[in-house]
Amino acid sequence: MTPGGRAAWGLALCALAPAAAGQQTATGPGSAPAAELAPVVVTATREADEALQVPAAIDVIDARQLSLAQPRLQLSESLQRVPGVVARDRNNYAQDLQISIRGYGARASFGVRGLRLYTDGIPATMPDGQGQVSHFALESAQRIEVLRGPFSALYGNSSGGVISVFSADPSRSPQLSLGQVLGSDGLRRSSVSAQGPLGTAHGVALDAGLLESDGYRDHSAARRLGGQALFKGGWREGTRYTLLVNHVDLRADDPQGLTSAQLDGDRRAASAGALAFDTRKTVTQTQAGLALQQDLSLSQGLALVLHAGQRDTFQMLSVPVAAQGNPLSGGGAIDLAREYGGIDLRWQWAGDVAGKPASLSAGLEHQFADERRRGFENFIGAQLGVVGRLRRDEGNRVSGRDAYVQADFEPGERWRLNAGLRRSRVRFESDDDYVQAGNPDDSGQRDYGETSPVAGVLFRATPSLSLYANTGRGFETPTFAELAYRSDGGSGLNAALRPARSRSHELGLRLRREGLDADLALFQSRTRDELVVVSNQGGRSVFGNAADTRRRGLELSLARRWDEQWQFAAAYTWLDARYLQDVPGCGSPPCAPGDRLVVAGRQLPGLSRHYAWAQLRWQPRAGTDLVLEGRHASRVFANDANSAGAPAYTSVDLGLERRLHWGPRGLRVFARVNNVFDREVIGSVIVNEANGRYFEPAPGRHWLLGLSLDLATRKDAPDGD
């Protein structure tokens, strides 16, 4: 590659800006012409690159894979094709998905922990590491990128892996699309999309959707209304922008988990506490993000990302009335109002060093989240499931300040070196405004800091085969929810809780030949001070640190296209994740001397040792696809003692899609039957649940029907690929 070409390639500046890959929709006067690019990845090295050039484990799920005979309701539909990633659908919209990458994030009882999430470059993870995916607009997604392994540490706190969703660029001509999905258990989802140019240099895409479901289980009905507006373009030479605004309004009942005995009875049942207290959750979130890119010269550029949002959450829990007699209880109803935002400024240079291609990027990032958290009793007299007396009132703030630098160098045609460093500081501050007899002032603060270095090397053995190795350090702070309670029963932040620190290593192989893609990765990660649940009772989860844990494994993915009609894809993960040292403590303090919460050698809960997925796609004629999918997951332990768990399962899905085009109009119709053989499947487990309600069952055999109508198709739309 010439120095000038290398400079232009490096100045894509699209690690956090949504204008990453493919064609540029609306170009300004000085913008380069749109070019057809091979699939690119952007999250590993903060610049656009071919997969064979990236010294890290990263996968791209493209638009065709996202939509093929799929309703695009949940990330779990598509992430299963990525090795090392497990996205468990709780079949409970009140609790979000349970997503883990190489074992990080599996302990989350709600939301997403231990991973960094982005939508069009806008963080969906708060500075304390707690993330949400309920506002991801999958209907308008162009691709999803998943980064695994040491290089994810460059994204700061709780970056056990990185998942980035990118929206499709607005079309060059006006387009209107209508969609409808129907399914088992009263599932209904209606969607509308409108997009097109705004003048000669700008484009807009508007999407809205309404999802309603009666739920597979009792007391699991949900209603989710969402919308997104995307503006892209440029207004002067070398300047490009992306503006994204989205909104979600969710109301969902929470059936909670079931015990093993309850599973043997009615798998569709809700827990007795869920029915008694009418457990439920409402969420309203609005956020906006702006990404600007400015070329300073042929070799330098700046990228700026700004975002801000507000998320209001109300949740009714089933905390027993008796437990709220403790003056330190925060009640059983949560009212949380959060305002958040951030800024990321990055400079990037690309050119030559000693006649060899090189690039350098450096940046500063600041994130914050301010919240007003109030807790109420979940009863009035004998009436349960209603908002009662105030029991908690506090203002919390968490902020993250980061500085990072990353360098890339190609000492020879076949070699590539990449190194980076990130310095992170996370501060927690709590101001307690509820001070009563027996409930002292719990105000306080806690600071965490860490330096995370990473380094990788890639060798291009042949034009179609690359070998790579990398290493790095990462860290994960507790979230505000995990700092809330202390193991000694006292009040205030759990100041004894330390951040988890990990050292990770990875070896990989990547093959790209005509009709064949293959990836293999071997990894090991050792974590000191793993965050674990020490006790869980009376509606309180108390966290502590485990001295030493290890995750090691193998990931394999394969995609083979035999001819124009037959394609095959598969992913397999072997993961060995366990405690290497005893963890002192017990489930119900006070603990006796010698008590052990976890015995060395136990497996980390929430994880399958083996997970496999495969898809066979047959295209008998253009525009028609028949898809057969299968997955297997081995046993999943639900607690640290490894005494309870969900059994292994194998399930099969079948899908059919037909696409038709008539001039400016297009029609897509699909039908799908999941769990064809009606196997009994546990969708997810609630790790270390206090009352043994570990299990969240998944549906048996169920169906989906979908239809989408394009009233004006893009000029480059597939005609039945």
CATH code, 100: 2.40.170.20
Q: Are 345 and 302 in contact (CB under 8 A)?
A: yes
718 located within any domain: no
Q: Are 189 and 180 in contact (CB under 8 A)?
A: yes
> What tokens were used for 104?
């990080």
What is the pLDDT, as a whole number, of residue 24?
Answer: 34
Nearest-Å Rg of the Cα atoms of the chain is 25
Burial of 462 from C-beta contacts in 10 A (0-12 / 13-18 / 19+): exposed
Average pLDDT rounded to a whole number, residues 79-105: 91
721 located within any domain: no
Higher pLDDT, 130 or 715: 130
The DSSP symbol for 46 reads S
Percent of the chain exceeding pLDDT 70 equals: 88
The whole-chain average pLDDT of the chain stands at 87
Count the domains in the chain.
Answer: 1
716 located within any domain: no
Higher pLDDT, 717 or 373: 373
What is the pLDDT, as a whole number, of residue 26?
Answer: 34
pLDDT, tens only, 506-532: 999 999 998 999 999 999 999 999 888
Closest among 684, 713, 662 to 76, alpha carbons compared: 684
What is the pLDDT, as a whole number, of residue 139?
Answer: 87
508 located within any domain: yes
The DSSP symbol for 78 reads H
pLDDT, tens only, 627-678: 999 999 999 999 888 999 999 999 999 999 999 988 778 999 999 999 999 9
Burial of 238 from C-beta contacts in 10 A (0-12 / 13-18 / 19+): middle
Q: Label residue 11 by pLDDT band (50, 70, 90).
A: very low
**Distance of alpha carbon 474 from alpha carbon 116, whole angstroms:** 12
Q: Label residue 597 by pLDDT band (50, 70, 90).
A: confident
The answer to whether residue 6 scores a pLDDT higher than 80 is: no
Structural domain boundaries enclosing 60: 3-710
720 located within any domain: no
- Number of helices and strands in the chain (H, E): 6, 41
Average pLDDT rounded to a whole number, residues 417-446: 92
pLDDT, tens only, 318-365: 999 998 888 888 899 999 999 999 999 999 999 999 999 999 999 999
Q: Label residue 20 by pLDDT band (50, 70, 90).
A: very low
**Distance of alpha carbon 195 from alpha carbon 717, whole angstroms:** 14
What is the pLDDT, as a whole number, of residue 505?
Answer: 97
**Distance of alpha carbon 303 from alpha carbon 292, whole angstroms:** 6
112 located within any domain: yes
**Distance of alpha carbon 436 from alpha carbon 442, whole angstroms:** 11
CA end-to-end span of the chain:
32
What is the pLDDT, as a whole number, of residue 484?
Answer: 79
How do strand 85-88 and strand 610-621 relate by DSSP bridges?
Answer: unpaired
Q: Are 372 and 331 in contact (CB under 8 A)?
A: no
What is the pLDDT, as a whole number, of residue 528?
Answer: 94
What is the pLDDT, as a whole number, of residue 593?
Answer: 61
Pick the range with the lowest mean pLDDT from 136-145, 242-251, 346-355, 361-370.
Answer: 136-145
